[in-house]
Structure 1
Amino acid sequence: MKLIFTILIAFSMGLNPAFAQKNVLKGKVLNEASQPIAGVTMILEGTVRGVQSDPSGHYVMRDIPEGKYVLKVNMLGYKEVNLPFSIGERENLALNINLQEALLSLDPFEFSVSRGIMGQERLPEVDKFRINAGKKNEVIRVGELNANLAMNNSRQIFSRTPGISIWENDGSGIQLGVATRGLNPNRSWEFNVRMNGYDITPDPMGYPEAYYTPPMEVVEQIEIVRGASSIQYGSQFGGLMNFVMRKPDKSTRFTFETLNTVGSNGLFSSFNYLGGTEGKWSYTAYYQKRVGNGWRENSYFNTDHAHVEVNYAANNRLMIGLEMTYMGTESQQPGGLTDEQFNKDSRSSTRERNWFSTPWFIPALTAEYILSDKTKLSWKTFGTFAERNSVGFMQPINQEDDLGNRQVDRDFYTTYGSELRMITEYSLFGKSNTLAAGIRYFNGFIDRKQVGGGDNGTQMNFDLADGGIYRRDFDFTNINQAAFAENVFRFSDKWLLTTGLRYERISSNMEGLFNTVNDQEQILLPQSRTRNFFLVGIGSEYKINPSMEFYSNFSQAYRPVLISDLTPPATTDSIDDNLQDSRGFNFDFGYRGAVQNWMKFDVGYFYLNYADRIGTIATMDNNGIINQFRTNLGNSVSQGFEGYVEFDPISALSKTSKFGYLHLFASLAFVDARYGDFATTSVREGVILEGNLKGNRVENAPRKINRYGATYRYDRFSVTWQLSDIGDAFSDASNTVLPNAAATVGLIPAYQVQDLSASTDIRRRYIFRAGINNLTNSVYFTRRAGGYPGPGIMPGDGRTFYFTFGLKL
């Protein structure tokens, strides 16, 4: 990799003599007490060039073409500064900057303390190439949390985000399963999942979704926009979840960081990062190795993550970049448990031959171009080349492994896509308004091979045994074209309105081998579907004062009939020829803001309508044969309240403290997710019994999702305690309470889990972190799996410990 970088730089210097220019702008950023300020952002207005001040307050910007510029200087808590200057060819210009504190700001020490432990913020009204005004959104600043980041502990990471339900059945941290507002957490598939703004999933509309999760040690922030994101990103009911990776360090030519973690059950994780900026070039790269035995028997994981990003300012208006991300995984799956096994020993396992692997490669090319002071363009093109592999004994968990040949299932994903966005500001009736628009193309191809005859061994092996075949072999293709436009109309300094429209075209095709019985192949007739539809959205904000506002948003959502919906699980099953896509909408109304420097809050009501849900009923044909018929059965509605508040009682009473600071937070959600008129049938002793799900709770939707926490910080030391208090849930739409023998249906009991984490750094160079997850060793589970990685109850991890040592250079 180093050789590749060297060749690229040398080649560019040879083609572009301007690269060797010695124009340099440098200086130092100081406060009113002539003390240096680190992390100040400085941008040449109207260009893509920018740097940050280093810990000593110095900054350097190299290779600036001669001309006249305005240096825009920003730092939270200080007044913005705009400095005009001119620079000539080969000039070395020194420009020192003095910043003044903004009104109601904190002193530098207190401000850094407060910002360091408030790990939850929200997106600005307009940010880069998107509009966030009027939408319920959260920004999780991962680096500011006390959490077990080496294991991607989602319970801690999403603690301050109200209403997030989590499937805690993957202690390895490889796969993330989260949802909101009564939706299904399975692989986070109700979210539009992105990284740095582009897709990282093999299907544009749902299945399969997020098999890849980046290491949280390199994630700068997680951006969550609830269902109202459908206009700008996609039609998913859950909204957007975007992982923003750490960007190249703009304050230095080279920085290096290593974080090494050891913990319970043989955990070892080594995360290594480097990055910097040199003239027009900036770069970043990381590598993480994580291995462990897992908390349960027959658990093991071995993962590798790597990422490289290189950006080049071709000129003052154009920035181009290349990103490449790789993940390799090897994971032993302990399988599920029956209720009896779980109550006896939740760490036990009856599956020792089940393995799972998801090698993932994501390349992306990006470009940003400034057309004018008011208009910018962004282009991203991306791809996914990945696999989903499993091998094991997959019969119900109450059946003993016969030690025979295992089942092999493999998916091969090949996708590519491109998205072009534009954002512009314009004046109307004396007010500044913003328009964002974009177009998108996505092509996803899935080669699915299932029910293969594997070996009878115990190790990870996805090869077919001699004479083994795949009884199913499908090809799926999903093509998605979309265009959107959304506008912010500002009627006054207090009130704004957003309106948006999105057009979607989705084309799906499926063909291949459905089953092989007695050497007879059953071929599915090719199935193709194309649909065109529009989504509309409208939102508003009204500011009570500069720090508090009301907001509301209505946005349509859409979930197309997926390829899996068109695939009958058995040859006797049938699919409704008129099977319709699911439609619905999200509605939000809330109040959010801050009280000076000691409290933040966001409280609101939501309503989610999910119409034309797809389900299966039993039918009888003219010959008296009972078949399963998949069709649209009815609607469901999720509604409730979400609230988040965090405050510092010490700062509320006194501006400064010699004894440290205390922050308390509560993240609360009440979710009432229920089915409407939803007809069902069942078969008992050859007789079809009709029923209705009306009034039943939606499966996997706890009514109560509450999390509380407290963080104490003194100087560079901080410690955080957290309590998760989650209500019970049902695992099926029939709301079955008593579990079946295979433990795939039944009540999921309420539970409480506590976590404790601490961190400190010495001279901003030596980093120490430690913690205990599941402090009281609670025995609980969040999921009953019908298939992989079960079947059966999937227990949450018990008490575990971790310790991290890090070094920054």
Structure 2
Amino acid sequence: MQVLLRLIPLLLICLSSFVGRAADYKPSGTLQGYVLDRNKQPAEGITVSLIGTVRQVSTGPDGSYLFKNLSPGRYVLIVTGVGLQTQEQSAEVTSGQATSLNITISESVQELQEVKVVASTGLHEREVLPEVGQNAIYAGKKTEVVNLGALDANLITNNSRQVFSKTPGVMVWESEGSGMQVGVAVRGLSPNRSWEFNVRQNGVDISSDPFGYPEAYYNPPMQAVDRIELIRGGASLQYGPQFGGLLNYVLKKPATDKPIAVESQQSVGSYGLFSTYNSVGGSAGRWQYFGYVDYRRADGWRDNSRYSIFNGFASVSYLVSNRLKIGAEVSRAYSVNQQPGGLTDAQFAQNARQSARTRNWFNVPWTVPSVTVDYALSDRTRLNLKVHGLFSERNQIGFVSAITNADVPNAGGQLANRTIDRDTYRNWGSELRLISQYNALGRQHTLSAGVKYFNGFTDRRQQGKGDTGSDFNLTLQDAAYPRALALRTTNVAAFAENLFRLSPRWTLTPGVRIEMLDNSVAGRYSFAANGIENQVDQSRSRAFALFGVGTEYKLATFATFYGNYSQAYRPVTFGDLTPAALTDFVIDPNLQDARGYTIDAGFRGAYRKFLNFDLGAYYLSYDNRIGTLTRLDASNRPYQYRTNLGRSVSKGVEAYVEIDPVVALAGRSKVGYVSLFASLGFTDARYLNLPTATVANGQLVEGNLQDKQVENAPRFIGRFGLNYTYRTFTLTALLNRVGSAYSDANNTETATANAQTGPIPAYQVMDLSASLRLAGRYSFKAGINNLTDERYFTRRAGGYPGPGILPADARNFYVTVGVKL
């Protein structure tokens, strides 16, 4: 661990020397030109890079690109794009002169590029990551890229079922309509605030604590997101432990062809919805900058569900030299949400819009700063360093009893005091990545390696006595919180993956990740009746390795087989180390992290201009699951024992197919283009072993939930859609169908009186969205969500923000007017 920790300051020292050497650098040339298709038409959105540097731009609407401040010499330009074949050309830059170089895209790339034009809201919405990215290897992994700029969806409230409509098997929790928190999962895992994913923004962790409390209480506004990168299963070696994989929000970038570019979107909608998104960015000399402010508020569909959310972001970067670039950014979010609470099954059937809680509030201030350094060591080797922090809070106040306990005045006319819970997070970390290409045995291979350090501290204060009012405030009525815990995490990890090109079509990528992890819980658990503090002190330290291997074979230019095996783990969390009650509760001193692995196999590709597909199967083994058993002590008294006790297995099929029949049959059309798609997920998630125990008549009665379905894991998730495009007008219709599931491992068929356990019925929802662009700068968007006004729910909550059934939103609409300058 000591050696790994020394690597980061050593790198900073080296980089400082690079900066010093760059001080004498005096750029004097310009390289510019156009990227054109076969018909000499501009190709917009193509990435143009200079090999051996950190310089990279995207072509504008006229196909132009521009590199300023280049030292004299020979440069090699590489033209790339997701799903495109790469193309290289060289140019000589002369001091004090502008060198022009126009690049014509080859026939094969032109055909794919044309798809982006004629079906930009259809086939271009979903893509896959390249074999090798800027600082990671993706070959052999199941990857998806959601391009939000080409998507017809309600981005105002982060409507996840629309955003992930072409990402098969994604389960979405729709428990509140603000979009402040995105709860998604795959492969039978829990969608609880996306905690089975390693959630990042621009490659930086944004969850509370990825190891001790991996819940994502913040996500960026989708209007500010350029694309979402999702890597399943095989992401665990390069990015961290979570079984679900990586979920990375990549924000929009500054304009590279002008000093000031402005975007503004103003929206209104149902239930008092108002949203304003405004951004500005650009490039001036060696500087680039970008920032946005986003604010939305609404009364909410349910009673007592109003909210207001602010998001802000600012970034700046400086090109020290062609090989060195330094950037800094900060995200800030602040939200206040009134929580309407849960419902019983009878209340839901009577009126799903009603609310029995008027005094519950939730508040999340969230700040994420980071600094990034990119350095090109050579034409084939790049370094990327990210140093990041998180300074945030999770605050709630309310009456949190079961929904069967009414929040009404007592005999004296007084309401009960509300309960206050507060978390404060202070995290920081760094991640150094290297990616290098090298030649061996006549072929070019790629190495990706890195080290990561994370230090997290959570100050948890719970069960505080709040006031008897109904507004949002965090004023404590007593001097102290009954529960006050200090929660700490330290993680050091190192990883390496190597892509070996066994042939022009076949790659093999083995990898390893070394984990060293410490987490602890210490402090006051509660006050005893005599006022004495009850203390808790638990900690875990361990080190281990994860292994994996991926492979990819290009059957043809339009089709690829891929597969991988990757180990993963879910760390012992703070909740696992905290007793549910002070007495009669024991935590296994040998408690271990949950461990397991994922196997993927699939076939994906794109045929000509009209067909995209990705057909895959998976097997996920989730071992050493942590749970609680009843046990009898030496005096034959029952107590609760938390330990590793179970194993579950998820297996299934994920399929995505999209076709444009107009292009397939006619090639071109004067009346527009149509794409039809189906995104299907079939999951069988079951417990192979999950012991249970109860006490009856002083005797321990043991059982096993073997073959029971895993909770919150519907067997079928299907999304079916139609995209219609005519010039700059698009229309998207989406049908979302989700099968039934259980809310508990016992697979309870009859809902309990408090509605916290029971079945989650199957449902289907329809959405309709449209957009129109005018004069290249004005846009109009509108949509109706839940077109048929279905009543359904996706979650039964055992605690906050319930307890009970949390209904999904009924029919609602939105309208957006936008401009880009």
Q: Aligned ranges for residues 573-612 of structure 1 at < 5 Å?
A: 573-612=585-624
Aligned AA (2:797) = A
Pairwise CA distance, 1:578:
1.9
Higher mean C-alpha displacement, 162-171 vs 99-108:
99-108
Name the structure 2 match of 1:97. 102
Aligned AA (1:344) = Q
Q: Secondary structure at the match of 2:240?
A: coil
Asked if 1:537 corresponds to 2:548, the answer is: yes
Given that 1:79 and 1:102 are in contact with CA atoms closer than 8 Å, whether structure 2 keeps it comes out as no
Pairwise CA distance, 1:757:
0.4
Aligned AA (1:806) = G
Asked if 1:151 corresponds to 2:157, the answer is: yes
Higher mean C-alpha displacement, 34-43 vs 660-669:
34-43
- 1:135-168 CA-partner distances (Å, limit 9, x unpaired): 1111111111100001100010011111111110
Given that 1:77 and 1:101 are in contact with CA atoms closer than 8 Å, whether structure 2 keeps it comes out as no
Q: Secondary structure at the match of 1:126?
A: coil
Asked if 1:435 corresponds to 2:447, the answer is: yes
Name the structure 2 match of 1:563. 574
Q: Aligned ranges for residues 728-747 of structure 1 at < 5 Å?
A: 728-747=740-759
Q: Secondary structure at the match of 1:788?
A: coil
Given that 2:459 and 2:485 are in contact with CA atoms closer than 8 Å, whether structure 1 keeps it comes out as yes
- 1:689-725 CA-partner distances (Å, limit 9, x unpaired): 3221001000111011111101111110011000111
- 1:618-642 CA-partner distances (Å, limit 9, x unpaired): 1222333221211121211111111
Identical positions, percent: 48
1:301 to 303, 307, 321: 307
Asked if 1:476 corresponds to 2:481, the answer is: no
Aligned in 2, Cα 1:31/1:582: closer, same or farther, shift over 3 Å?
closer
Name the structure 1 match of 2:667. 655
Aligned length: 795
1:46 to 40, 43, 52: 52
- 1:230-255 CA-partner distances (Å, limit 9, x unpaired): 11011111111111111122232221
Aligned in 2, Cα 1:654/1:67: closer, same or farther, shift over 3 Å?
same
Q: Aligned ranges for residues 104-115 of structure 1 at < 5 Å?
A: 105-106=110-111, 111-115=116-120
| Counterparts of 1:127 and 1:75, CA distance in 2 | 11
Given that 1:78 and 1:101 are in contact with CA atoms closer than 8 Å, whether structure 2 keeps it comes out as no
Higher mean C-alpha displacement, 48-57 vs 472-481:
48-57
Higher mean C-alpha displacement, 220-229 vs 340-349:
220-229
| Counterparts of 1:450 and 1:473, CA distance in 2 | 7
Pairwise CA distance, 1:107:
8.9
Q: Aligned ranges for residues 225-264 of structure 1 at < 5 Å?
A: 225-264=231-270
Name the structure 2 match of 1:638. 650
Aligned AA (1:38) = E
Name the structure 1 match of 2:538. 527
Aligned in 2, Cα 1:120/1:35: closer, same or farther, shift over 3 Å?
closer
Pairwise CA distance, 1:44:
2.4
| Counterparts of 1:19 and 1:297, CA distance in 2 | 63
Name the structure 1 match of 2:432. 420
Q: Aligned ranges for residues 95-494 of structure 1 at < 5 Å?
A: 95-103=100-108, 105-106=110-111, 111-118=116-123, 119-205=125-211, 207-402=213-408, 403-465=415-477, 467-494=478-505
Pairwise CA distance, 1:554:
0.6
- 1:358-407 CA-partner distances (Å, limit 9, x unpaired): 10000000011111111111000000000000000000011111422100
Given that 2:750 and 2:759 are in contact with CA atoms closer than 8 Å, whether structure 1 keeps it comes out as yes
Structure 1 runs not aligned, ≥5 long: 1-12
Given that 2:121 and 2:152 are in contact with CA atoms closer than 8 Å, whether structure 1 keeps it comes out as no
TM-score by length of 2: 0.94
Name the structure 2 match of 1:9. none
| Counterparts of 1:575 and 1:78, CA distance in 2 | 54
Pairwise CA distance, 1:30:
4.1
| Counterparts of 1:59 and 1:127, CA distance in 2 | 21
Pairwise CA distance, 1:17:
8.4
| Counterparts of 1:359 and 1:773, CA distance in 2 | 29
Name the structure 2 match of 1:776. 788
- 1:408-437 CA-partner distances (Å, limit 9, x unpaired): 000000000000010111112111111100
Q: Secondary structure at the match of 1:231?
A: helix
| Counterparts of 2:575 and 2:51, CA distance in 1 | 50
Higher mean C-alpha displacement, 49-58 vs 414-423:
49-58
2:626 to 600, 614, 620: 614
Q: Secondary structure at the match of 1:151?
A: coil
Aligned AA (1:236) = Q
Aligned AA (2:560) = E
Name the structure 1 match of 2:562. 551
Given that 2:35 and 2:105 are in contact with CA atoms closer than 8 Å, whether structure 1 keeps it comes out as no
Higher mean C-alpha displacement, 220-229 vs 588-597:
588-597
Given that 2:399 and 2:419 are in contact with CA atoms closer than 8 Å, whether structure 1 keeps it comes out as yes
Asked if 1:708 corresponds to 2:720, the answer is: yes
Pairwise CA distance, 1:26:
3.4
Given that 1:162 and 1:668 are in contact with CA atoms closer than 8 Å, whether structure 2 keeps it comes out as yes
Higher mean C-alpha displacement, 262-271 vs 250-259:
250-259
- 1:714-763 CA-partner distances (Å, limit 9, x unpaired): 11001100011101110110000111111000000000011000011101
Higher mean C-alpha displacement, 763-772 vs 519-528:
519-528
Aligned in 2, Cα 1:680/1:495: closer, same or farther, shift over 3 Å?
same
Given that 2:82 and 2:129 are in contact with CA atoms closer than 8 Å, whether structure 1 keeps it comes out as no
- 1:631-680 CA-partner distances (Å, limit 9, x unpaired): 12121111111111111011111111111000011011110000112210
Structure 2 runs not aligned, ≥5 long: 1-18, 409-414
| Counterparts of 2:210 and 2:175, CA distance in 1 | 25
TM-score by length of 1: 0.95
Given that 2:724 and 2:731 are in contact with CA atoms closer than 8 Å, whether structure 1 keeps it comes out as yes
Pairwise CA distance, 1:25:
3.2
